[in-house]
Structure 1
């Protein structure tokens, strides 16, 4: 997927996927927020051939290392015309292939780091090759690994820490008609923590018992890269992409069902959790380490192109706008003043 070389000296990195200019402002402000949080680790922009040259120049001018990866797409895939962003999401599986690093924490570019979370670089995970060997069906004559059944989960697998991520919120608060019918508050893992919000700040809902769906959100993934794991992932993608509603998220939730570390919401704080009637019972502004601006509009879409003023109303979006203004002021002082 890459040339096998490191883009930086560190063997532990944050990465974020960038395929077009639409998310570049998000990436730049994400990087600023990581630096401001005091992170000891660099952010590497994983770009595909669809990312234009002017974007690479913008990264270089700001000293953000970039690493080319191949655009990952199944041979036969699902129609995502209702949510075209999911075509790009397959490439978010690439960190599993980056074996030149010992730890990769993949972040979406529409995130904002509010507090240091370097501890994710030391989080215990299974060795990638060992985890691949323990996947049901993985060693049967090279056949694609099979999705685990409830019976499989009842038998303790020696590998239960393949990767780490936060749960998806399956409440579907916007009532999107193309979302699965079982995406309801009753099936949402976060609903199980409403009566114990203090625990929710430091412990994620159990990936096996908290929700019958066991679904993760791909915005933040903590990964020990492994060629064996990546081969397994690509096989599963080619085998079943037509049935995967949410691309990378569906694949990882299905293939490694119940075998991932569920992080507390604070590491991938989906902005909708803060909404009234969703999961306000557990949300604490002062505890959130990393907010994820899922869905549309993005905060940068609410900045007037002429006046530069923010036109939005959602308070959490204002946090991003403030960080973005701070970033731009620092860049101008350094002689970097482009449209990004």
Structure 2
């Protein structure tokens, strides 16, 4: 894709508590030399002071409204209330000023340049994403019953082939192979496509059955029309523990801090012996470098510090 064609990385911010995540995500994109901007979709719930901090970092903002399912149609398990805002990520399809967008969650860091995602072949009305990890190591009872290691698309993969060749989806694939993780999605914005997605949200009889709001919708709506990406573009932090034959630190393009415990909510213990301490330290290392840039404006930095662990 030539750089005269407009394209962007896009993320969503709905509350102040995710401001540190957005700022570190933006810092990491710049640090790996991306040619494309980060655009932050903001809802009316985002305070003006947060918007001002982002603007002073030269981060582009786009005002959007919240997107929800119809009343009393979909409910979330108590464990997953953090997903309440995630339907709103789908507003990215409305950003038609961009020929292509790479949607990113705010709980990610980019560790190596991945601008090649703007160049991959992407048929009309299709998307690209990585598979879910369907191992359910915590044995959460509200997860789908077919989420077991034998059905996980990452289980058959090993290094080095797994870094470039994701598991193919065939007519005989177990159902979890057809499910994607929406932390990173490559797409072509389109108002027509956006409306079709929203209509699906408001009319599909499957909505009450979805455990993971936006990603279950995307997997269902784009069934047979989403292209699997290698794990390294959305390196779920749990893969480091669950899929050791596949994981290599040096292969990671974009690291995703899935699950409820976000890295900015707890400092890494000095002994660093926890199973996720290493990758959480990667986030804090980048946060400290961001601090060096931002502390000149004390007011902005105090707002950031108010939303991270002491």
**Alpha-carbon distance in 1 for matches of 2:226, 2:271:** 39
Q: Does 1:318 align with 2:281?
A: yes
The one of 15, 37, 40 aligned to 2:35? 40
Q: What is the 5 A alignment of 1:1-340?
A: 11-76=6-71, 77-82=73-78, 83-127=80-124, 131=125, 162-194=126-158, 197-208=159-170, 211-213=174-176, 214-240=178-204, 241-275=207-241, 278-303=242-267, 313=274, 314-333=277-296, 337-340=301-304
**Alpha-carbon distance in 1 for matches of 2:118, 2:135:** 30
The 8 Å contact of residues 8 and 98 in structure 2, kept in 1 or not, is answered as yes
**Alpha-carbon distance in 2 for matches of 1:211, 1:284:** 26
| Alpha-carbon shift at residue 303 of structure 1 (Å) | 3.0
Q: Deviations over 1:248-288 (max 9, x none)?
A: 1111111221221100000000000001xx11110000010
- Taking a change above 3 Å as real, the CA distance of residues 125 and 167 of structure 1, as seen in their structure-2 partners, is same
- Taking a change above 3 Å as real, the CA distance of residues 192 and 40 of structure 1, as seen in their structure-2 partners, is same
The 8 Å contact of residues 10 and 42 in structure 1, kept in 2 or not, is answered as no
The corresponding residue for 1:3 is none
What is the count of residue pairs matched by the alignment? 291
The 8 Å contact of residues 32 and 327 in structure 1, kept in 2 or not, is answered as yes
SS at match of 2:160: helix
**Alpha-carbon distance in 2 for matches of 1:229, 1:192:** 34
In structure 2, list runs of 5 or more residues that go unmatched: 305-310
**Alpha-carbon distance in 1 for matches of 2:169, 2:105:** 21
**Alpha-carbon distance in 2 for matches of 1:22, 1:34:** 20
Alignment TM-score, normalising by the size of structure 1: 0.81
- Taking a change above 3 Å as real, the CA distance of residues 52 and 78 of structure 1, as seen in their structure-2 partners, is same
| Alpha-carbon shift at residue 38 of structure 1 (Å) | 0.2
**Alpha-carbon distance in 1 for matches of 2:28, 2:297:** 17
SS at match of 1:85: helix
Q: Deviations over 1:8-54 (max 9, x none)?
A: x9720001000001111011000000000000100011011111112
The 8 Å contact of residues 25 and 106 in structure 2, kept in 1 or not, is answered as yes
The 8 Å contact of residues 106 and 222 in structure 1, kept in 2 or not, is answered as yes
The corresponding residue for 2:308 is none
- Taking a change above 3 Å as real, the CA distance of residues 37 and 231 of structure 1, as seen in their structure-2 partners, is same
| Alpha-carbon shift at residue 113 of structure 1 (Å) | 0.3
The 8 Å contact of residues 77 and 142 in structure 2, kept in 1 or not, is answered as no
**Alpha-carbon distance in 2 for matches of 1:289, 1:207:** 23
SS at match of 1:192: coil
